[in-house]
Every structure is written in structure tokens, then in C-alpha cells.
Amino acid sequence: MRHLIDPTDLTVAETEQIVALAEDIIANRAKYSEACRGKKLATLFYEPSTRTRLSFTAAMLELGGQVIGFSDANSSSVSKGETVADTVRVIRCFADIIAMRHFKEGAPLVASQYAGIPVINAGDGSHAHPTQTLTDLLTIKREKGRFDNMTIGFCGDLKFGRTVHSLIKALSRYSNIKVILIAPQELRLPDYMLAEMAENSRLEFREVETMEEVMPELDILYMTRVQKERFLDEEEFDRVKNSFVLNPEKLKTAKEDMIILHPLPRVNEITRAVDNDPRAAYFRQVENGKFVRMALIYTLLRWADENRPFERTPVF
Ligand code: CP
């Protein structure tokens, strides 16, 4: 049984296959409208979400499938103490595939060990967010036309930013990728990730503390929100919450074809005035999320049904 818990659960070829399928879905929407008829997605969200949950829901509906689940764990038997393992053992009786977001790192991995149906990690604590990575990759493909030969600056909360952790892992598998980590000391990338990057001879990276000093080099600027909900110490959050604010003035030295990505939601790290800049790709990025999740749901269900093929004719 295949799951998606970490971006590297997919090979480079499989990742690119899903991105290519998403592009085909964008070009030929009607072709996929019955692709998951008769299938159910369970969205189990133990932590708040707007984009991820609703795009998973829209994705399954557009594939002709149905959606069940909860967006408030307190309305489920989780509030009575039910474990993730028991919850997914129950959900497998009602659904064919699960998308789970959890505040605890590793919870979707546990779910995958008990579910018996494909589990997709929709974000676990500060660990990983592989479907945001697929969204980012589709956006990079559509905006830049390639995954290699790029300088990408990750700016903001690199300590807790699971979208950053996952995208770095995915891009690390391509050649001539230069990563610039832009963060204050308190929000540096976790040591285990820095160690992994140092071991990757194909990857070049360095750490800086201001975006201004690297702006002219960047092909992609990946902004992130400082994640208040992950801080144990509110005073520390107050110290770093305004570390970076991207505004039109700071973009003056950026390349004309640089793109600005952000997984969203944003707080104050990108001013509204930047939204009108054609380089601001973050709302286009959101839209891509639905298509790549359609491609992923379809692919995982197809893999799960390998020995029990869909009754319908496969669409690819
Ligand atoms: N990018 C992202 O994960 O957004 P949500 O928290 O709204 O799902």
C-alpha cells in the first residue's frame, strides 16, 4: 500500500508523473470528471486549515468522488481519547483514502501503519507537508518551466516551516540547485536538516540574515509566516515576529523573472502592495493545489487498486 507521508516517498519520476498529470487535468478537466466515481476521501484535520482541506475536498468532488471527515477533532471521538490508530481503523470502513493533518509530527505515519487504505500527510506539526510540495513543484514548473538550475531563497520561519522542510527535500534531488536560507538565529533550519543538506554534494547552500543582500541572485523567493502556534515562549515569538517584511521597495533589486511563492496564510510578511506585482505567484500557487491533489488522489487510488482495477476505464 502506497502512502504519501514525506515528499521522498515518491521517486523523482513518480513526482514528475503526478505534476504532469496535474497539468493534463488543467488542460482537460472534463476528462477526469468521473475518474473517482464511487470512491470516498476522508479528510481528518486535527489542526486548522483553509487551503489544504478545501482543495482536497474540491479535488475529490471534481474527480466525481465523495468526501467525509472532520475539520474539528473535538467534534469527533478524538475528544473522548480515541487514538489515531483506532480512528483510522474505523475510517477505513467508510472511505477509500485519507488526508490527515495533525499537530503532532509522525501522526500520519502512525495512521498509515493502521489504515489499510492510502494515507496522505496533509501537514504534521513542523515536520512535513508533501502535498504543499507538490503544489509548489507544479507552480515552479508552470512559472519557470524547470526544477533544476535555480537559486531559491527560503525566508522567515525555517525552524517550524514544514513547507520549507519538504520543498528543500524535494528540490535537493535536482541538479544545480542553490538554496539560500534567510532567517534570524532563532528561526534557523533544524540541525538535522542542515546536516542532511551538508551531506548532499549536489546541493549548494548558505545562511544569511537579510533578504536584501541576496535578492538580486534569486530565481524564487519562498516567503513563510512566523508560526505563532508552534512557539512555547510568547516573548520569543514577539522578538522574531516582524523579522521580515517583503514590500515593493525590497523587490527593486530582484530579477524581472523572479517569482515569489508563499504557502499562505500570510500575516504581515508580504505587504498587500506586492500582490499586484506580476512576480507574486502565491495566489496562482493556491489554485495549483487543487489540481495536484486531484492528480495525487487519482494516482494513489489507482496504485491501491492495482490488483482490483477500477471498473471505469483508466483516464491515463
Ligand atoms: N498552505 C497551507 O497548508 O494552508 P492551510 O493551512 O490553510 O491549509
- The residue count for the chain: 316
- CA pair distance 85, 77, nearest whole angstrom: 13
Q: What is the amino acid identity at position 36?
A: C
pLDDT band for 228, please (50, 70, 90 cuts): confident
pLDDT of residue 312: 47
Atom 5 in ligand 1: which residue has the minimum CA distance?
A: 49
pLDDT of residue 307: 55
Q: What is the amino acid identity at position 162?
A: R
The preferred substitution site among 160, 264, 269, 292 for testing ligand 1, maximizing ligand atoms within 8 Å of CB, is 264
Whether the CB of 264 sits within 6 Å of ligand 1: yes
314 CA to centre of ligand 1 in angstroms: 30
Q: How far is CA 315 from CA 135, 300, 308, in A?
A: 21, 14, 16
265 CA to centre of ligand 1 in angstroms: 6
pLDDT of residue 308: 58
pLDDT of residue 73: 87
pLDDT at 154 over 60: yes
* 55-69, 226-240, 288-302: least confident range: 226-240
Q: Say how far residue 72 (Cα) sits from the centre of its chain.
A: 21
pTM: 0.94
Q: Which atom of ligand 1 is nearest to the CA of 123?
A: 3
Mean predicted confidence (pLDDT) in 257-275: 97
Mean predicted confidence (pLDDT) in 232-241: 82
DSSP helix/strand/coil, 48? coil
pLDDT band for 315, please (50, 70, 90 cuts): low
252 catalytic residue (yes or no):
no
Tell me how many degrees the CA angle 207-208-211 measures, rounded to the nearest 5.
130
Mean predicted confidence (pLDDT) in 167-196: 95
DSSP helix/strand/coil, 123? strand
The answer, yes or no, to whether the previous bond of 216 is cis (omega within 30 of 0) is: no
Whether the Cβ atoms of residue 98 and residue 44 lie closer than 8 Å to each other? yes
Catalytic residue chosen out of the listed positions 3, 39, 51, 266: 51
163 CA to centre of ligand 1 in angstroms: 10
Mean predicted confidence (pLDDT) in 175-183: 96
Whether the CB of 261 sits within 6 Å of ligand 1: no
pLDDT at 313 over 60: no
- CA pair distance 211, 214, nearest whole angstrom: 6
The preferred substitution site among 52, 164, 165, 229 for testing ligand 1, maximizing ligand atoms within 8 Å of CB, is 52
pLDDT at 27 over 60: yes
Q: How far is CA 191 from CA 188, 194, 196, in A?
A: 8, 5, 9
52 catalytic residue (yes or no):
yes
Mean predicted confidence (pLDDT) in 52-70: 98
293 catalytic residue (yes or no):
no
49 CA to centre of ligand 1 in angstroms: 5
